[in-house]
Structure 1
Amino acid sequence: MTEVTKEQVFNQVKDALVELFEIDVEDIQPDAHLYQDLDLDSIDAVDLVVHLQNVTGKKIKPDEFSAVRTVDDVVEAVTELLKES
Protein backbone atom coordinates (compact mmCIF):
# COMPACT_ATOMS: atom_id res chain seq x y z
CA MET A 1 0.00 0.00 0.00
CA THR A 2 1.34 3.41 -0.89
CA GLU A 3 1.87 5.98 1.82
CA VAL A 4 -0.72 8.74 1.73
CA THR A 5 0.72 12.18 2.33
CA LYS A 6 -0.81 14.77 4.62
CA GLU A 7 -1.10 17.01 1.57
CA GLN A 8 -3.24 14.41 -0.20
CA VAL A 9 -5.43 14.03 2.87
CA PHE A 10 -5.69 17.82 3.22
CA ASN A 11 -6.84 18.05 -0.39
CA GLN A 12 -9.48 15.38 0.20
CA VAL A 13 -10.71 17.14 3.33
CA LYS A 14 -10.74 20.46 1.49
CA ASP A 15 -12.71 18.95 -1.40
CA ALA A 16 -15.18 17.45 1.08
CA LEU A 17 -15.69 20.79 2.85
CA VAL A 18 -16.28 22.57 -0.45
CA GLU A 19 -18.57 19.85 -1.81
CA LEU A 20 -20.62 19.21 1.34
CA PHE A 21 -20.82 22.69 2.88
CA GLU A 22 -20.00 25.10 0.02
CA ILE A 23 -17.14 26.62 1.99
CA ASP A 24 -14.83 28.94 0.05
CA VAL A 25 -11.56 27.20 -0.80
CA GLU A 26 -9.60 30.25 0.43
CA ASP A 27 -11.14 29.84 3.91
CA ILE A 28 -9.93 26.25 4.27
CA GLN A 29 -6.52 26.54 5.91
CA PRO A 30 -4.86 23.97 8.18
CA ASP A 31 -5.37 26.21 11.23
CA ALA A 32 -9.00 27.08 10.42
CA HIS A 33 -11.36 26.06 13.22
CA LEU A 34 -14.23 23.90 11.99
CA TYR A 35 -16.83 25.49 14.25
CA GLN A 36 -15.74 29.13 14.62
CA ASP A 37 -14.03 29.83 11.28
CA LEU A 38 -15.94 27.51 8.94
CA ASP A 39 -19.33 27.69 10.70
CA LEU A 40 -19.80 23.94 10.90
CA ASP A 41 -21.99 22.46 13.61
CA SER A 42 -22.00 19.01 15.17
CA ILE A 43 -24.34 17.63 12.48
CA ASP A 44 -21.95 18.92 9.80
CA ALA A 45 -19.06 17.24 11.61
CA VAL A 46 -20.94 13.92 11.49
CA ASP A 47 -21.60 14.42 7.76
CA LEU A 48 -17.89 15.09 7.25
CA VAL A 49 -16.94 11.92 9.18
CA VAL A 50 -19.37 9.83 7.11
CA HIS A 51 -18.00 11.31 3.89
CA LEU A 52 -14.40 10.64 4.96
CA GLN A 53 -15.31 7.07 5.90
CA ASN A 54 -16.68 6.56 2.40
CA VAL A 55 -13.59 8.10 0.79
CA THR A 56 -11.06 6.21 2.92
CA GLY A 57 -12.94 2.95 3.40
CA LYS A 58 -11.99 3.18 7.10
CA LYS A 59 -14.33 3.19 10.08
CA ILE A 60 -13.89 6.37 12.09
CA LYS A 61 -14.78 6.04 15.77
CA PRO A 62 -16.67 9.07 17.14
CA ASP A 63 -14.27 9.40 20.08
CA GLU A 64 -11.35 9.72 17.64
CA PHE A 65 -13.11 12.69 16.13
CA SER A 66 -14.34 14.32 19.34
CA ALA A 67 -11.03 16.15 19.89
CA VAL A 68 -10.94 17.51 16.34
CA ARG A 69 -11.14 21.30 16.25
CA THR A 70 -9.22 22.45 13.17
CA VAL A 71 -8.83 21.36 9.57
CA ASP A 72 -5.34 20.12 10.44
CA ASP A 73 -6.80 18.00 13.28
CA VAL A 74 -9.05 16.31 10.70
CA VAL A 75 -6.06 15.74 8.42
CA GLU A 76 -4.05 14.26 11.32
CA ALA A 77 -6.91 11.94 12.33
CA VAL A 78 -7.46 10.67 8.79
CA THR A 79 -3.71 10.29 8.15
CA GLU A 80 -3.39 8.19 11.32
CA LEU A 81 -6.35 6.03 10.27
CA LEU A 82 -4.83 5.38 6.87
CA LYS A 83 -1.56 4.25 8.49
CA GLU A 84 -3.45 1.50 10.33
CA SER A 85 -3.76 -1.67 8.33
Structure 2
Amino acid sequence: MQRSVLREKVIEEIGQIPERKLSEVYTVLHFFRLGIETAKRQPQDIMRFAGCWQDMPDQEFQEFLHEIQERRQHAFSGRIARETIIS
Protein backbone atom coordinates (compact mmCIF):
# COMPACT_ATOMS: atom_id res chain seq x y z
CA MET A 1 0.00 0.00 0.00
CA GLN A 2 1.37 3.39 -0.95
CA ARG A 3 2.28 5.78 1.79
CA SER A 4 -0.17 8.50 0.83
CA VAL A 5 -3.01 5.95 0.51
CA LEU A 6 -2.31 4.62 3.98
CA ARG A 7 -2.13 8.13 5.40
CA GLU A 8 -5.51 8.90 3.85
CA LYS A 9 -6.98 5.74 5.38
CA VAL A 10 -5.68 6.73 8.81
CA ILE A 11 -7.18 10.21 8.41
CA GLU A 12 -10.51 8.66 7.31
CA GLU A 13 -10.54 6.44 10.40
CA ILE A 14 -9.80 9.42 12.63
CA GLY A 15 -12.68 11.24 10.95
CA GLN A 16 -15.01 8.44 12.10
CA ILE A 17 -14.07 8.84 15.78
CA PRO A 18 -16.52 10.78 17.97
CA GLU A 19 -15.33 14.25 19.01
CA ARG A 20 -15.33 13.32 22.70
CA LYS A 21 -12.76 10.56 22.04
CA LEU A 22 -10.32 12.58 19.94
CA SER A 23 -8.19 13.61 22.91
CA GLU A 24 -7.50 9.93 23.64
CA VAL A 25 -6.58 9.25 20.02
CA TYR A 26 -4.32 12.29 19.99
CA THR A 27 -2.54 11.07 23.12
CA VAL A 28 -1.92 7.64 21.61
CA LEU A 29 -0.68 9.05 18.30
CA HIS A 30 1.49 11.66 19.99
CA PHE A 31 3.27 9.17 22.26
CA PHE A 32 3.60 6.69 19.40
CA ARG A 33 5.36 9.34 17.31
CA LEU A 34 7.61 10.33 20.22
CA GLY A 35 8.55 6.69 20.69
CA ILE A 36 9.54 6.40 17.05
CA GLU A 37 11.70 9.53 17.30
CA THR A 38 13.37 8.25 20.46
CA ALA A 39 14.06 4.85 18.90
CA LYS A 40 15.73 6.51 15.91
CA ARG A 41 17.89 8.72 18.10
CA GLN A 42 18.92 6.16 20.71
CA PRO A 43 21.45 4.09 18.70
CA GLN A 44 23.13 7.28 17.51
CA ASP A 45 23.44 8.54 21.10
CA ILE A 46 24.90 5.23 22.27
CA MET A 47 27.32 4.94 19.36
CA ARG A 48 28.91 8.29 20.24
CA PHE A 49 30.61 6.47 23.12
CA ALA A 50 31.71 3.40 21.17
CA GLY A 51 35.43 2.95 21.58
CA CYS A 52 35.86 6.00 23.80
CA TRP A 53 38.19 4.05 26.15
CA GLN A 54 40.15 2.50 23.31
CA ASP A 55 43.09 4.93 23.54
CA MET A 56 43.15 5.05 27.36
CA PRO A 57 46.49 3.88 28.83
CA ASP A 58 46.26 0.51 30.64
CA GLN A 59 47.10 1.96 34.06
CA GLU A 60 44.42 4.64 33.74
CA PHE A 61 41.88 2.06 32.53
CA GLN A 62 42.61 -0.20 35.52
CA GLU A 63 42.15 2.76 37.88
CA PHE A 64 38.88 3.55 36.12
CA LEU A 65 37.61 -0.02 36.56
CA HIS A 66 38.62 0.01 40.23
CA GLU A 67 36.75 3.29 40.79
CA ILE A 68 33.62 1.88 39.17
CA GLN A 69 33.79 -1.19 41.41
CA GLU A 70 34.21 0.97 44.54
CA ARG A 71 31.29 3.21 43.56
CA ARG A 72 29.03 0.21 42.99
CA GLN A 73 29.98 -1.31 46.33
CA HIS A 74 29.30 1.99 48.06
CA ALA A 75 25.98 2.48 46.25
CA PHE A 76 24.71 -0.96 47.23
CA SER A 77 26.28 -1.23 50.70
CA GLY A 78 23.28 0.35 52.42
CA ARG A 79 20.79 -2.05 50.90
CA ILE A 80 19.27 -4.92 52.76
CA ALA A 81 20.41 -8.28 51.41
CA ARG A 82 16.90 -9.20 50.23
CA GLU A 83 16.82 -6.09 47.99
CA THR A 84 19.80 -7.21 45.94
CA ILE A 85 18.88 -10.88 45.48
CA ILE A 86 17.41 -11.76 42.11
CA SER A 87 14.76 -14.46 42.39
Interval of TM-score (by shorter of Structure 1 and Structure 2): under 0.3
TM-score, structure 2 length as denominator?
0.25
TM-score norm. by structure 1 comes to 0.26
Higher helix fraction: Structure 1 or Structure 2?
2
Larger Rg: 2
Higher relative contact order (CA 8 A, sep 6+): 1
